Structure 1
Amino acid sequence: MSAAGFSPWQQRAYDQAVAALDAGRLGHGLLICGPQGLGKRAMAQRLAQHVLEGGRPAGEGRTAQLLAAGTHPDFQLVSFIPNRTGDKLRTEIVIEQVREVSQKLALTPQYGAAQVVVIDPADAINRAACNALLKTLEEPAPGRYLWLISAQPQRLPATIRSRCQRLEFRLPPRAEALDWLRRQGHDAAEAAEALDAARGHPGLADAWLREDGLALRRAIARDLARLEQGEAGVLETAQRWSDEHADARLAHAADWVLAQAGAGLTDAARLHKLATWFDAANRTRDLLRTTVRADLAMVELLRAWAGPDRQRAAHASRQSQESRE
């Protein structure tokens, strides 16, 4: 079966799972892992449709309609839920959610003979919830499937990982990724640039191309170069970076610095600076989620990148220009 709209890497993972399922080799627990943005959840939902239809060819029947509407009684997607005040989502999957999963899997399926629960992202399950989940994994019932989706499976306890079969998504070959990006309607040259910037990750490259992320990344690289060369000031740059795209700017900046560090540099001092600043950029992203003023946090971060000597040079250059005017 060809899953309409699937990328080649999604199709490969789907075919592998279906082959294991049809051969009776797909166990109760499945850990679907790999880089974020490769379509793991969509593949899991299509696989759930195959399971709930009893392996019959997928169509536009009742199962597909109920899954599309999110109302199939034998399928449950577990993710972040609102906090107690309801003003934002939790950042963890909590024990109450896992207990609901256990209760659901103890019930008789309403349609057919199978139930499927998908937890995404599984690496966000907190410690107490992991302990509860372990009991569910240790006591499987026939026709009950518990699938964990994770971009960081190493964050899951070894006791959880050891009780799950592993289905891994990997970055595709460059030629396949470029062909897929072109079929999404992207210009070939821009697709190649975005794919290289994303270090071979087609999902990330596609998102950047659709949301002007590539243009933002170019601007970030220019800003960092100008700061380092003393051609721009920290304060004005920090003010520009403290807009509604602040988190995206920092994500691009950290990723760009990481790419520079992996570009075959042999200068130990330069590598140390890149590694230190990469950590600082990620800490600043965390600060932006608090009540700290974004512009002040940006100033400290960008000052560390520019260094005091460059900033003194930039300040002197601006004063000289102002005196001439």
Structure 2
Amino acid sequence: MSTCPWHAGHWQRLEARRARGALPHALLLCGPAGLGKRAFLQRFVRGLLCERAQDGEACGQCRACQLLQAGTHPDLVTLGYGMRKDGAQRTEIVIDQVRELSARLAMASQFGGWQVVVIDPADAMNAAAANALLKTLEEPTPQTLLALLADAPWRLPQTIRSRCQRIDFVLPAHDEALAWLRAQGVEAAEAALEAAGGNPGLARAWAEQGALARRQAVRKDLAALAAGRGEATEVARRWLDGEPEQCLWFAAQAVADEVRARAAGTPAPLASTLDDEALAGWYAFANRTRDAVRGPLRGDLLLLELLAGWR
């Protein structure tokens, strides 16, 4: 059972639809990573396929539950990146995978109940795969549920989004998130939540991974470079060897704090010599670089260019 209090409203609405036999044929669960949408869907699917579910909750004991636990339930199909013919993992979901899925859905449910398809991450479908899925969404088979999971739903075509019942997972209220973190035993919960931008799931993961120390190190690096100390090449190397996307997140966050401090007339923590317009440009550049380091370009050169602009 989910322990995230911000799931309660979504759960009640979805369960009410299930109870009156009005489930949509397609769901789109979306929102930032860390809010538990995958755990939410797993909980719902287990209850939907369970043979003795009560109020939507799986019993955990029946044959269906045992097969789900083993990952071998014949009426649950999961579509992800998959593997290429050369054994390497794909970086997108391709049309052949969707065609295989359509052929699978043409067959009847083996347990005589629901067939469930989980596509995760749905926003990794390329254009051809998304177009192929569109036909399945337009002509759903009875008692078939397609569940799409997306951290970045805007990458999905509007034609896909418009044919799904959307469930948006948004950041909970600060007090609710903080109470949950403390209940999970997270130390320095307030600092972790601030570092994660108010995302409690991300805050818990980062606290467990020691990311708060990395956040402080990034701020020290930026302050040192602003004061003319340290070398941009050395900072770039450390960030690249650590978690470059996380370092860039913390760097952008630190610059946002710098801007707020200036606006409030309080001492700026980084003591940057850049003017307000240049700070805003560097902030945007840091976020673009965070996206770019996921791609094929050399991370060290990307970071070095960014840090050279900070100096």
Q: Same fold (TM over 0.5)?
A: yes
| Preserved contact between residue 37 and residue 203 of structure 1 (Cα < 8 Å) | yes
Q: State the Cα distance separating 1:252 from its structure 2 match.
A: 3.5
| Preserved contact between residue 248 and residue 289 of structure 2 (Cα < 8 Å) | no
Is 1:25 the equivalent of 2:22? yes
Partner of 1:73: 74
Is 1:43 the equivalent of 2:40? yes
Is 1:177 the equivalent of 2:182? no
Partner of 2:135: 135
Instruction: Give the share of equivalent positions with the same residue, in percent.
Output: 46
Q: CA 1:206–1:136 in 2, change beyond 3 Å: closer, same or farther?
A: same
Aligned Cα root-mean-square deviation (Å)? 2.3
Q: Distance in 1 between matches of 2:95 and 2:241?
A: 36
Q: Distance in 2 between matches of 1:138 and 1:31?
A: 15
Q: State the Cα distance separating 1:12 from its structure 2 match.
A: 3.3
* Rg comparison, structure with higher value: 1
Q: Distance in 1 between matches of 2:185 and 2:21?
A: 40
Letter in 1 for 2:132: A
Partner of 1:191: 189
Measured against aligned partners, the alpha-carbon deviations of 1:126-157 in whole angstroms (never above 9, x if no partner) come to 11111110000011121111111112111111
Partner of 1:10: 7
Letter in 2 for 1:42: A
Is 1:303 the equivalent of 2:300? no
Q: State the Cα distance separating 1:79 from its structure 2 match.
A: 1.1
Q: Distance in 2 between matches of 1:146 and 1:213?
A: 36
Partner of 1:279: 288
Partner of 2:267: none
Q: Secondary structure in 2 aligned to 1:30?
A: strand
Q: CA 1:8–1:112 in 2, change beyond 3 Å: closer, same or farther?
A: farther
Q: Distance in 2 between matches of 1:254 and 1:282?
A: 13
Partner of 2:241: 243
Q: State the Cα distance separating 1:171 from its structure 2 match.
A: 1.2
| Preserved contact between residue 253 and residue 281 of structure 1 (Cα < 8 Å) | no
Q: CA 1:155–1:242 in 2, change beyond 3 Å: closer, same or farther?
A: closer
Measured against aligned partners, the alpha-carbon deviations of 1:176-215 in whole angstroms (never above 9, x if no partner) come to 111111121112xx11111122221101111110111121
TM-score (norm 1): 0.83
Letter in 2 for 1:124: A
Letter in 2 for 1:28: H
Q: Distance in 1 between matches of 2:23 and 2:260?
A: 38
| Preserved contact between residue 261 and residue 275 of structure 1 (Cα < 8 Å) | no
Q: Secondary structure in 1 aligned to 2:109?
A: coil
Q: Distance in 2 between matches of 1:156 and 1:141?
A: 22
Is 1:115 the equivalent of 2:115? yes
| Preserved contact between residue 244 and residue 290 of structure 2 (Cα < 8 Å) | no
Q: Distance in 1 between matches of 2:5 and 2:46?
A: 19
Instruction: Figure out how many residues of one structure are paired with residues of the other and give that number.
Output: 296
Partner of 1:229: 227
Q: Distance in 2 between matches of 1:296 and 1:268?
A: 24
| Range with bigger deviation, 17-26 or 273-282 | 273-282
Is 1:34 the equivalent of 2:35? no
Partner of 2:270: none
Q: State the Cα distance separating 1:53 from its structure 2 match.
A: 2.4
> What is the aligned counterpart of 1:210 among 208, 211, 234?
208
Q: CA 1:264–1:166 in 2, change beyond 3 Å: closer, same or farther?
A: farther
Q: Secondary structure in 2 aligned to 1:242?
A: helix
Q: Distance in 2 between matches of 1:262 and 1:76?
A: 48
Which runs of no fewer than 5 residues in structure 1 stay unpaired?
Answer: 307-325
